[in-house]
Structure 1
Amino acid sequence: MSYLLSIFIFSPLLGILVLMFASNEKTARFIGTVTTLFPLVCSFVLYGTYLSGKGFDSFSEHAKWIQFGRFEQAPDLFRIDYELGVNGFSFIMMLLTAVLAALAAVTAQKITKQVKNFYILLLLLEIGMLGVFAAENLLLFFFFFEVTLPAMFFLIGKWGKFESEKASYSYLIYNGIGSAILLLVFAIIFGKTGTTNFDGVTDALNGGNPLGPISESLKTGLFIALFIAFGIKLPIFPLHRWMVNVHVQAPPAVVMLHAGVLLKIGAYGLIRFGMGMFPEEFDKFTTLIAILGVVNVLYGAFLALIQTDFRRVLAYSSISHMGIVLLGLAAANEAGVKGAIFQVISHGLIAALLFFLLGMIEDRFGTSDMKCLGGLAKNMPLFSGFLLAGAMASLGLPGMSGFIGEFLAFLGLFDTMPIAAAVGTLGIILTAAYVLRAVLSITFGKFELDRKADVKGMEFLPILILLFFIIAIGVAPEILGGPLGSALQLVGR
């Protein structure tokens, strides 16, 4: 049995242990940054092995863990095992996590207080995020899901801006409610099916339950509860307020991971659990999901259009882009689901790039208020060019990753719900408006601040890496198309 996935997930633990004995800030920064390279190397090894002809199934891990009684006729019932595995979607999300965690560690070089503690929590957060995407049973998924909560709570509250404690408690309350709902659903599923294995639960919920049939009303209730739990994480309007607070208050390195990966756990949950385990119930609610998607797209875009703070523009932009994910899922066909997945990955990269650039602005000028900025194109031409490139990716310029996700999502939705798709496309127009407005406000106009250095040194690394992936996916989307084939089979689309 291969143990690559366990090494992949838990390799940051080594860095956490070493960091505990770090004697100074410089050493802590070095150890914390280097440790994030271990999962990154594992991801490339795993991908290389996959390209050599091995299927993702060859990386699965399984070991006996917890047994709740024994049943002679069905010895596998009420047993929870240690199970890890990947499909195309989950692997790409793990690769995205590894890349963004390494870049966030580089971005965090500017953290000046309690550096050791910051990197310990950052590595703990990475373990939780990687584990969520590799878990193959409900208990492991919930365990890793919960690991991310305290890590993010402290990263926001301790190293954020003036009202960071308020944002951290808002994050904890909303996500804690989502976790409680998730735990209740998982407990009911385990009690009704006798298993937590993803495949076993899927079979049991769809007619193959050894403990007897499950009522349609219960399955509908479980689906609605799951939709709310993951809807908080995505987030879906009106469960979004906490996310805006986090985007505004958290340090750039943390927001890169929050916007780039943690929000995507909501989309991953809707696809893996909603579409995968409750396909009939999901189909019943596609109209509602499409309506919520349209609301997300337009609500986020309209509010982004009237903001004067660049952080808030990016926060409401995330809400709008997650609406496109909902529209793709509501299409419930291959084009729509593939578009939703592309949008998840694309937004992760684009949001990380824009928040990194935002961090550069705040580091140099101490503000993200667009009314206090202007004229950067003359004094910081390289930065302004990179900001424009990130903006073009966000509004879906052809040749960049944002275009692929939006095009496929709306293509799928036009096939099933043309009216919802037509209304949703207004969001694309509004996206162009608020993105270009923000870029013009920051890069042109009269420059009244002190002259600052342009992009320099290690700052080029995150920018160029993220732009490389954004353009590579936009130009050659089949980079992701191959691995995603297995994910689409998983949800039966």
Structure 2
Amino acid sequence: MGWLTLLVFSPLIGLLVLTVIPKVDTRQVKLIGILATFVPLLLSFMVYGQFHAGNTLAIAVDWIQFAEGTFKIDYELGIDGFTLLLVLLTTVVSSLSAIAASIQIKQAHKAYFIWFLLLEMGMLGVFTAENLILFFFFFEMTLVPMFFLVGRWGFVERENAAYSFLIYNGLGSAVLLIVFIAIFANTGTTNIEALKEIMENDSYLSEEFRYGCMLALLIAFGVKLPIVPLHTWMLRVHVHAPVAIVMIHAGILLKIGAYGLINFGIGIFGDQFVKIAPFIAVLGLINLLYGAFLAFVQTELKSVFAYSSVSHMGIVLLGVAAMNEAGIQGAIFQTLSHGLIASLLFFLVGIIYERTRTTKLDKLGGLAKTMPLTAGFLLTAALASLGLPGMSGFVSEFMAFLGLFEKMPWMGAIGTLGIIMTVVYLLRAVLGVTYGKTIPTVSIHRDLSRKEMFPAAVLLAFILMIGIYPNVITHTLKFAIDSIMLGIGG
């Protein structure tokens, strides 16, 4: 069966157990929901060990054939350094999000965790799929659970947020499916590695076809990342979805966009991607500056962090646009770093909302006096997000801009304005909440419990580990980066 198959489908174990537990037994449902996420977490670390031991993890089995075998789609799973790190990010954040949900979700826990485990299975499949059709299957699998998780367990405008998510991502999926079918019809394969070889060595595919496919992929994954102006749905989800799901959305699902641009955009259509790199850099600058300026004028904490995500995804685009080793490595680091930092920020927002029933900046203040641990974690997460040395945000931003300055120095110079704005809007919001004027309604609330402390401490530990010892990631990424650079002639 293989390690990767076990990993991808392991959430089904918890899902099946949940189906036989009475929904009124809330405590048991929560326990099984949390423990079910520990199974893929354990398997992901076992896969990590197998990968670094040099063992073969790929699996390929006959699945679907057309036209007497002329067109063939196999069940194929595989992993490289980049996807391995995304799998680890997925399992870690999913387990911590499940703990957060057990605290913050107040109704229909059984249905919640069933949808949640289906979502985790879809995310694991997306990052391990080795052919386009299987990738699309798992990509679609993430949409339905997210729709129900947002629409049923979210806040006031949860239904609007859910439908906005479904419409935008559904259109992105439609574009993705058209591209995959076109590629399959013209090449006879959906295997990602085979497609990379075909695009590199065979000339029978026209330049117009290649550019068309590449631009369509940019649109499809641009919705997911998201790229301005395809971002409005994401803001609604970040503000109105349940906080435990925003941890998943900001921490993992947005990273599918970055993964798609790097693995499919650069990996398959590298020559075409190189030629439009300046355009990608312009899009990155727009994301970075637009998100930063809009975050500065927000009056609600979740909105600040939502626009911050838009801005930080701009750094991913800038790193990718550099098309050199430092830039692409910075983009990957930013993908992973933002996943951890955003998950921590939104987890803390959920704690604050549960205590105060508000996230309005003018209704929060003085948390450092009444909730010092919460305030300390929030300030530390904000410092990581703005790129303080010694934390993961600094490493990712430094490498992305190092690559950008090497290829497009004037773009890098403009981009530094976004970094400055990040410092301003994060410190404005977080210092106002933690050290601002104490609001009477905040002064009576308790600090982090032991159960709440665990997710915050684990996320912060990973953020510090990457910031202090980035080789823990670069060692795993080495061969993946070498393969990407070889594909673009680097």
Instruction: Return the TM-score normalized by structure 2.
Output: 0.97
After superposition, give the CA deviation of every residue in 1:378-414 in whole Å (9 maximum; x if it has no partner).
Answer: 1111111111110110000000000010000000000
Deviation at 1:445, TM superposition (A): 2.4
Aligned-partner Cα distance in 1 for 2:374–2:174: 43
Contact 1:335–1:412 at 8 Å: present in 2 too? yes
Tell me, what secondary structure is at the counterpart of 2:10?
helix
The answer to whether structure 1 residue 93 and structure 2 residue 86 are counterparts is yes
Deviation at 1:14, TM superposition (A): 1.2
The answer to whether structure 1 residue 167 and structure 2 residue 161 are counterparts is yes
Tell me, what secondary structure is at the counterpart of 1:59?
coil
Counterpart position of 1:123: 117
The answer to whether structure 1 residue 229 and structure 2 residue 220 are counterparts is yes
After superposition, give the CA deviation of every residue in 1:341-371 in whole Å (9 maximum; x if it has no partner).
Answer: 0000000000000000000000000011010
1:70-89 counterparts in 2 under 5 A?
70=68, 77-89=70-82
Counterpart position of 1:28: 29
Aligned-partner Cα distance in 1 for 2:134–2:483: 19
Aligned-partner Cα distance in 2 for 1:34–1:265: 25
Deviation at 1:132, TM superposition (A): 0.3
Counterpart position of 2:58: 60
Aligned-partner Cα distance in 1 for 2:359–2:307: 15
Structure 2 residue identity aligned to 1:5: L
After superposition, give the CA deviation of every residue in 1:88-147 in whole Å (9 maximum; x if it has no partner).
Answer: 000000000000000000000131111100000110000000000000000100000000
Deviation at 1:446, TM superposition (A): 2.5
Contact 1:88–1:487 at 8 Å: present in 2 too? yes
- Of 249, 255, 262, which aligns to 1:264? 255
Counterpart position of 1:478: 471
What is the alpha-carbon root mean square deviation over aligned residues? 1.0
Counterpart position of 2:43: 42
Aligned-partner Cα distance in 2 for 1:162–1:14: 33
The answer to whether structure 1 residue 420 and structure 2 residue 411 are counterparts is yes
Structure 2 residue identity aligned to 1:30: L
Deviation at 1:28, TM superposition (A): 1.0
1:318-467 counterparts in 2 under 5 A?
318-447=309-438, 448-449=440-441, 450-467=443-460
Counterpart position of 2:183: 189
Aligned-partner Cα distance in 2 for 1:434–1:297: 13
Structure 2 residue identity aligned to 1:479: V
Aligned-partner Cα distance in 2 for 1:429–1:205: 40
Structure 1 residue identity aligned to 2:276: F
Tell me, what secondary structure is at the counterpart of 1:407?
helix
Deviation at 1:207, TM superposition (A): 3.0
Contact 1:236–1:296 at 8 Å: present in 2 too? yes
Deviation at 1:27, TM superposition (A): 1.3
Deviation at 1:338, TM superposition (A): 0.1
Tell me, what secondary structure is at the counterpart of 1:398?
coil
Tell me, what secondary structure is at the counterpart of 1:367?
coil
Deviation at 1:468, TM superposition (A): 0.5
Structure 1 residue identity aligned to 2:196: T
After superposition, give the CA deviation of every residue in 1:303-324 in whole Å (9 maximum; x if it has no partner).
Answer: 0001010000000000000000
Deviation at 1:22, TM superposition (A): 1.3
Structure 1: which 5+ runs fail to align?
A: none
Structure 1 residue identity aligned to 2:117: L
Deviation at 1:239, TM superposition (A): 0.4
Aligned-partner Cα distance in 2 for 1:491–1:78: 27
Counterpart position of 1:18: 17
- Of 97, 100, 103, which aligns to 1:104? 97
Contact 1:94–1:130 at 8 Å: present in 2 too? yes
The answer to whether structure 1 residue 274 and structure 2 residue 273 are counterparts is no
Structure 2 residue identity aligned to 1:54: G
Deviation at 1:206, TM superposition (A): 2.6
Contact 1:289–1:330 at 8 Å: present in 2 too? yes
Deviation at 1:43, TM superposition (A): 1.0
Deviation at 1:205, TM superposition (A): 2.3
Aligned-partner Cα distance in 2 for 1:9–1:122: 14
Aligned-partner Cα distance in 2 for 1:200–1:444: 56
Tell me, what secondary structure is at the counterpart of 1:425?
helix
The answer to whether structure 1 residue 3 and structure 2 residue 2 are counterparts is yes
Aligned-partner Cα distance in 2 for 1:389–1:292: 29
Instruction: Return the TM-score normalized by structure 1.
Output: 0.96
Counterpart position of 1:202: 196
Tell me, what secondary structure is at the counterpart of 1:454?
coil
Deviation at 1:489, TM superposition (A): 2.4
Deviation at 1:490, TM superposition (A): 2.7
Higher deviation after alignment, 287-296 or 447-456: 447-456
Tell me, what secondary structure is at the counterpart of 1:236?
coil
Deviation at 1:440, TM superposition (A): 1.4
Structure 2 residue identity aligned to 1:342: F
Structure 2 residue identity aligned to 1:282: F
Higher deviation after alignment, 139-148 or 453-462: 453-462
Contact 2:51–2:57 at 8 Å: present in 1 too? no
Counterpart position of 2:483: 490
Contact 1:301–1:316 at 8 Å: present in 2 too? yes
Contact 1:100–1:257 at 8 Å: present in 2 too? yes
Contact 1:248–1:312 at 8 Å: present in 2 too? yes
Tell me, what secondary structure is at the counterpart of 1:275?
helix
Structure 1 residue identity aligned to 2:94: A
Aligned-partner Cα distance in 1 for 2:447–2:16: 37
Instruction: Report the identity percentage.
Output: 54
Contact 2:379–2:431 at 8 Å: present in 1 too? no
Aligned-partner Cα distance in 1 for 2:73–2:250: 32
Q: Which structure 1 residue ranges, 4+ long, deviate > 4 Å from structure 2?
A: none
Tell me, what secondary structure is at the counterpart of 2:62?
strand
Structure 2 residue identity aligned to 1:454: D
Aligned-partner Cα distance in 2 for 1:204–1:69: 21
The answer to whether structure 1 residue 151 and structure 2 residue 145 are counterparts is yes
Tell me, what secondary structure is at the counterpart of 2:64?
strand
Structure 1 residue identity aligned to 2:473: L
Structure 2 residue identity aligned to 1:467: L
Tell me, what secondary structure is at the counterpart of 2:31?
helix
Deviation at 1:292, TM superposition (A): 0.5
Contact 1:207–1:213 at 8 Å: present in 2 too? no
Deviation at 1:69, TM superposition (A): 2.2
Aligned-partner Cα distance in 1 for 2:447–2:125: 38
Tell me, what secondary structure is at the counterpart of 2:63?
strand
Deviation at 1:203, TM superposition (A): 1.7
Deviation at 1:264, TM superposition (A): 0.3
Aligned-partner Cα distance in 2 for 1:237–1:265: 16
